[in-house]
Amino acid sequence: MGAVEDLRPIFSPKSIAVVGASRSPMKIGYEILQNILVQGYSGKLYPINPEASEILGLRSLPSVLAVKDDIDLAVIAVPAEFVPKVMVECSKKKVKGAIIISSGFGETGEKGKALEDEVLQIAKKGGIRVVGPNTLGYKDPIDNLDAAFVFGMPQRGEIALISQSGALCVGMIYYANGEHIGLSRVISVGNKADVDDADLIEYLDQDKSTKVIAMYIEGIKDGKKFLDAARKCKKPIVAIKAGRTPAGSAAASTHTGSLSGSDAVYDSAFKQVHIQRAFDVGELFDFARALTYQPPAPGNRVGIISNGGGAGIMIADWCESIGLKVPNLSKKTMDALRPHLPSITTARNPLDVTGDARFHRYHATGSIMLSEPNVDALIMACVHAGIARPREYVGAVIKLVEEKRNLKKPIVACWVGGREIDEVVQELRVKNIPVYPSAMRAAKAVKCLYDEGKRLDMLGKKKAGKDSAGS
């Protein structure tokens, strides 16, 4: 079977056994059972604990072997040394998939690695696919399934998040919630003893609820498998590859038992398969948000509008320094802009509409700039100067995004003003319009959309080549 069929019982289980479901609210096994219940899981749910008769109102059974029905997924939260025995029982029961939450495996050294290998052998023999060990589990806000410890669900959206770090995974969920960035599936992969990034890329590529795949990676064991999966993936992938330096790499080996490998090799491999590399959580979501909600840029020429010259200049600098262009405008566009501008302002790119601009000037110049054939993408900036009207500019950006969708040119916003304008910026976030607090972040988001355009061109050309070779 392929990854998609293999992983379905894990991520869309009809029945779940929580092995190590605890009677104590302070323990992880209790929390997992509680989280599954809180989200209203509609399949069959079995707490497994030899010491208990009932947990959270459900009858507890001593082993998976005591369950009469089939079990799709076992979520295992018993101490590491008991996991082989539990896996043997799962194998006898013909459980289809397992998530091993327990830590104490490959990440702890040779003894732990031997235990991990033993568990993997049992799983392979029994035909059980395994996520983990040393994982948080997963959270699925689309199908309301929380098979993880740590309380709280992500906001629903179209970005799938795969994380090798469990704790960071939680942090990223909260970050995304705070930024109004919705997620489709969140999977903590832990030590990746069996199910790895490549399997998940293949699985998520088929997932109708996912538009973009965002990843936090410390190390990849099977480079070829990973690159093949990324190359075949039709959806954009954005990834942080951590452990770039000797200090980071040493930390990764004790965190998830990962060999970080040469950063230069990762960098060039990512480029080969068009994975967009991010270097921080903020950047990961900056890119993922742009890719999810704006079209790819058909070229690298950026139009810039701001109500303050400084912001426009900085955006222009950033664009030009990362491979984008800030083109001159055609005479026709300059002529069209002039009637909307005060006499002191020059019709040029970047365009300073000046601090006294109101909705109409901001909207009209944006509209004209988008019609300029030399412009492939637009950055609309606002600085919170005293006479500026950030709320009116927000309205103008929202209107432009709605009106100009058919042009297939991305529009991103750059709002500089910190907490003073946080409330109005939120309106853009809620409307899923990418908005960034600095020139650098806005320019990089556009670069990411330009790179995505190139990736799609390449895929289109490959497909056309194959089609014509086959015809």
Half-sphere exposure for 234 (CA within 13 Å, toward CB): 10
Least distance (Å) from ligand ACO to the CB of residue 45? 15
Among 65, 114, 167, 250, binds ligand ACO (CB under 6 A): 167
Given a contact cutoff of 8 angstroms between Cβ atoms, the answer to whether 412 and 398 are in contact is no
Size of the site for ligand ACO (CB under 6 A): 31
3-state class of 152 per DSSP?
A: coil
Among 24, 42, 245, 346, binds ligand ACO (CB under 6 A): 24
Least distance (Å) from ligand ACO to the CB of residue 262? 23
Residues in contact with ligand ACO, shown as a per-residue x/- string from 84 to 113 under the rule CB under 6 A: --x--------------xxxx---------
Kindly tell me which of 63 and 432 has the beta carbon lying closer to ligand ACO. Answer: 63
Kindly tell me which of 19 and 142 has the beta carbon lying closer to ligand ACO. Answer: 19
Give the helix ranges, DSSP H, for 179-308. Answer: 197-205, 223-232, 246-255, 263-272, 281-293
29 binds ligand ACO (CB under 6 A): yes
Cis ω before 133 (30° cut-off from 0):
yes
101 is written with which tokens?
Answer: 């939450």
Least distance (Å) from ligand ACO to the CB of residue 220? 16
Among 82, 151, 174, 279, binds ligand ACO (CB under 6 A): 82
Q: How many helices (H) and strands (E) does the chain have?
A: 16, 19
Return the H-helix or E-strand segment holding 465: helix 439-470
Part of the chain binding ligand ACO (CB under 6 A), chosen from 113-121, 131-139, 296-304, 346-354: 131-139
Return the H-helix or E-strand segment holding 41: none
Least distance (Å) from ligand ACO to the CB of residue 170? 9
Kindly tell me which of 49 and 210 has the beta carbon lying closer to ligand ACO. Answer: 49
Q: What are the contacts of 21-26 at 24+ separation with CB within 8 A?
A: 21/47, 21/48, 21/49, 21/52, 21/55, 21/56, 21/60, 21/77, 22/49, 22/55, 22/77, 23/49, 23/51, 23/52, 23/55
276 is written with which tokens?
Answer: 């967009």
Positions in 243-262 near ligand ACO (CB under 6 A): 256
324 binds ligand ACO (CB under 6 A): no
Residues paired with 240 in a beta bridge = 216, 278
Least distance (Å) from ligand ACO to the CB of residue 144? 22
Part of the chain binding ligand ACO (CB under 6 A), chosen from 73-81, 120-128, 342-350, 421-429: 73-81
Among 48, 73, 242, 353, binds ligand ACO (CB under 6 A): 48
Kindly tell me which of 117 and 402 has the beta carbon lying closer to ligand ACO. Answer: 117
Given a contact cutoff of 8 angstroms between Cβ atoms, the answer to whether 453 and 297 are in contact is yes
Kindly tell me which of 136 and 446 has the beta carbon lying closer to ligand ACO. Answer: 136
Residue nearest to ligand ACO (CB): 166
Rounded Cα gap, residues 181 and 295, in angstroms: 17
163 binds ligand ACO (CB under 6 A): no
90 is written with which tokens?
Answer: 């799962």
Part of the chain binding ligand ACO (CB under 6 A), chosen from 74-82, 219-227, 301-309, 419-427: 74-82
79 binds ligand ACO (CB under 6 A): yes
13 is written with which tokens?
Answer: 């289980």
Rounded Cα gap, residues 333 and 163, in angstroms: 46
Q: Backbone phi, then psi, for 195, in 5-degree steps?
A: -65, 125
190 binds ligand ACO (CB under 6 A): yes
Among 3, 56, 77, 319, binds ligand ACO (CB under 6 A): 77
> How far is it between the farthest Cα atoms of the chain?
83
Least distance (Å) from ligand ACO to the CB of residue 281? 16
Kindly tell me which of 139 and 441 has the beta carbon lying closer to ligand ACO. Answer: 139
Interacting residue ranges for ligand ACO, rule: CB under 6 A: 19-20, 22-24, 27-29, 48-52, 77-79, 82, 86, 101-104, 134-136, 165-167, 188, 190, 256
